[in-house]
Protein backbone atom coordinates (compact mmCIF):
# COMPACT_ATOMS: atom_id res chain seq x y z
CA UNK A 1 0.00 0.00 0.00
CA UNK A 2 1.34 3.41 -0.96
CA UNK A 3 -0.15 6.04 1.33
CA UNK A 4 -1.60 9.25 -0.05
CA UNK A 5 -0.88 12.53 1.69
CA UNK A 6 -4.37 12.59 3.23
CA UNK A 7 -3.87 8.98 4.30
CA UNK A 8 -0.54 9.83 5.92
CA UNK A 9 -2.10 12.73 7.79
CA UNK A 10 -5.08 10.69 8.99
CA UNK A 11 -2.85 7.82 10.10
CA UNK A 12 -0.37 10.12 11.86
CA UNK A 13 -3.05 12.01 13.78
CA UNK A 14 -5.01 8.87 14.69
CA UNK A 15 -2.04 6.85 15.88
CA UNK A 16 -0.27 9.64 17.74
CA UNK A 17 -3.59 10.74 19.26
CA UNK A 18 -4.23 7.26 20.62
CA UNK A 19 -1.19 4.99 20.87
CA UNK A 20 1.28 7.85 21.08
CA UNK A 21 -0.55 9.45 23.98
CA UNK A 22 -1.02 6.11 25.80
CA UNK A 23 2.64 5.17 25.42
CA UNK A 24 3.62 8.64 26.69
CA UNK A 25 1.60 8.42 29.91
CA UNK A 26 4.34 6.55 31.85
CA UNK A 27 6.78 9.28 30.80
CA UNK A 28 4.36 11.87 32.23
CA UNK A 29 4.38 10.01 35.54
CA UNK A 30 8.19 9.73 35.45
CA UNK A 31 8.74 13.48 34.93
CA UNK A 32 5.72 14.65 36.90
CA UNK A 33 4.30 16.78 34.10
CA UNK A 34 2.35 16.65 30.87
CA UNK A 35 5.39 17.67 28.80
CA UNK A 36 5.65 14.23 27.10
CA UNK A 37 2.09 14.66 25.83
CA UNK A 38 3.05 18.05 24.44
CA UNK A 39 6.01 16.41 22.69
CA UNK A 40 3.65 13.93 20.99
CA UNK A 41 1.30 16.76 20.02
CA UNK A 42 4.19 18.70 18.46
CA UNK A 43 5.42 15.60 16.62
CA UNK A 44 1.89 15.24 15.21
CA UNK A 45 1.56 18.89 14.18
CA UNK A 46 5.06 19.32 12.76
CA UNK A 47 4.73 15.93 11.12
CA UNK A 48 1.95 17.23 8.90
CA UNK A 49 4.49 19.40 7.09
CA UNK A 50 7.04 16.59 7.20
CA UNK A 51 4.52 14.22 5.56
CA UNK A 52 3.90 16.72 2.78
CA UNK A 53 7.63 16.85 2.04
CA UNK A 54 7.87 13.06 2.36
CA UNK A 55 5.04 12.57 -0.16
CA UNK A 56 6.64 15.06 -2.55
CA UNK A 57 9.97 13.23 -2.40
CA UNK A 58 8.26 9.87 -2.93
CA UNK A 59 6.94 11.09 -6.27
CA UNK A 60 10.50 10.85 -7.62
CA UNK A 61 10.72 7.11 -6.95
CA UNK A 62 9.35 4.85 -9.66
CA UNK A 63 7.12 2.83 -7.30
CA UNK A 64 6.10 5.93 -5.29
CA UNK A 65 7.00 4.27 -1.99
CA UNK A 66 9.96 4.01 0.37
CA UNK A 67 11.60 0.94 1.81
CA UNK A 68 11.24 0.64 5.59
CA UNK A 69 14.86 1.74 6.05
CA UNK A 70 13.93 5.15 4.62
CA UNK A 71 11.08 5.39 7.13
CA UNK A 72 13.57 4.81 9.95
CA UNK A 73 15.88 7.50 8.53
CA UNK A 74 12.94 9.89 8.21
CA UNK A 75 11.97 9.20 11.83
CA UNK A 76 15.48 10.00 13.02
CA UNK A 77 15.52 13.27 11.09
CA UNK A 78 12.05 14.17 12.38
CA UNK A 79 13.12 13.44 15.97
CA UNK A 80 16.23 15.59 15.66
CA UNK A 81 14.22 18.47 14.20
CA UNK A 82 11.57 18.32 16.93
CA UNK A 83 14.19 18.12 19.69
CA UNK A 84 16.20 21.02 18.26
CA UNK A 85 13.08 23.17 17.91
CA UNK A 86 12.03 22.35 21.47
CA UNK A 87 15.41 23.15 23.00
CA UNK A 88 16.42 26.13 20.86
CA UNK A 89 13.24 27.98 19.87
CA UNK A 90 10.93 26.51 22.47
CA UNK A 91 7.67 24.73 21.83
CA UNK A 92 4.57 25.40 23.93
CA UNK A 93 4.24 22.87 26.73
CA UNK A 94 7.76 21.50 26.26
CA UNK A 95 10.50 22.69 28.62
CA UNK A 96 13.54 24.20 26.90
CA UNK A 97 15.79 22.08 29.13
CA UNK A 98 14.19 18.87 27.83
CA UNK A 99 16.34 15.87 28.67
CA UNK A 100 17.83 14.39 25.51
CA UNK A 101 17.80 10.89 26.96
CA UNK A 102 14.16 11.15 27.99
CA UNK A 103 13.20 12.58 24.60
CA UNK A 104 15.03 9.82 22.71
CA UNK A 105 13.47 7.11 24.87
CA UNK A 106 9.94 8.47 24.50
CA UNK A 107 10.23 9.33 20.81
CA UNK A 108 11.79 5.96 19.94
CA UNK A 109 9.21 3.94 21.87
CA UNK A 110 6.28 5.90 20.43
CA UNK A 111 7.70 5.58 16.91
CA UNK A 112 8.36 1.83 17.19
CA UNK A 113 4.91 1.12 18.67
CA UNK A 114 3.09 3.12 15.98
CA UNK A 115 5.28 1.72 13.18
CA UNK A 116 4.69 -1.87 14.29
CA UNK A 117 0.96 -1.18 14.65
CA UNK A 118 0.80 -0.03 11.03
CA UNK A 119 2.65 -3.15 9.91
CA UNK A 120 0.21 -5.60 11.51
CA UNK A 121 -2.88 -4.77 13.55
CA UNK A 122 -3.77 -1.67 11.52
CA UNK A 123 -4.04 -3.76 8.35
CA UNK A 124 -6.41 -6.20 10.05
CA UNK A 125 -8.52 -3.76 12.07
CA UNK A 126 -8.88 -1.19 9.29
CA UNK A 127 -9.02 -2.95 5.90
CA UNK A 128 -10.21 0.29 4.29
CA UNK A 129 -6.96 1.89 5.47
CA UNK A 130 -4.87 -0.76 3.77
CA UNK A 131 -6.57 -0.58 0.40
CA UNK A 132 -7.26 3.15 0.16
CA UNK A 133 -3.95 4.93 0.57
CA UNK A 134 -3.81 4.93 4.35
CA UNK A 135 -7.07 6.79 4.81
CA UNK A 136 -8.88 5.94 8.02
CA UNK A 137 -11.89 8.05 7.17
CA UNK A 138 -13.21 6.97 3.78
CA UNK A 139 -13.32 9.70 1.20
CA UNK A 140 -15.67 9.99 -1.72
CA UNK A 141 -13.84 9.88 -5.01
CA UNK A 142 -15.08 11.54 -8.17
CA UNK A 143 -15.92 8.08 -9.56
CA UNK A 144 -18.24 7.35 -6.62
CA UNK A 145 -20.20 10.58 -7.14
CA UNK A 146 -21.28 9.72 -10.67
Neighbouring residues of 138: CB distance < 8 A, sequence distance ≥ 6? 128, 132
pLDDT, tens digit, for every residue of 118-134? 888 888 888 777 677 77
pLDDT of residue 134: 75
Please state the rounded mean pLDDT for residues 85-90.
91
3 near 11, Cβ under 8 Å? yes
pLDDT of residue 127: 79
Please state the rounded mean pLDDT for residues 28-46.
94
Cα 7 from Cα 122, distance rounded (Å): 13
Please state the rounded mean pLDDT for residues 95-101.
90
pLDDT of residue 64: 64
Instruction: Output phi, psi for 137, to 5 deg.
Output: -95, 115
Determine if the pTM surpasses 0.85: no
Amino acid sequence: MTPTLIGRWQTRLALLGTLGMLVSLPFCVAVGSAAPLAVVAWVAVLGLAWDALYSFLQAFRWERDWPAAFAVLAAIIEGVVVYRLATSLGLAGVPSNLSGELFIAQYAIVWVVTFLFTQGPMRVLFPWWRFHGGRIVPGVSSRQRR
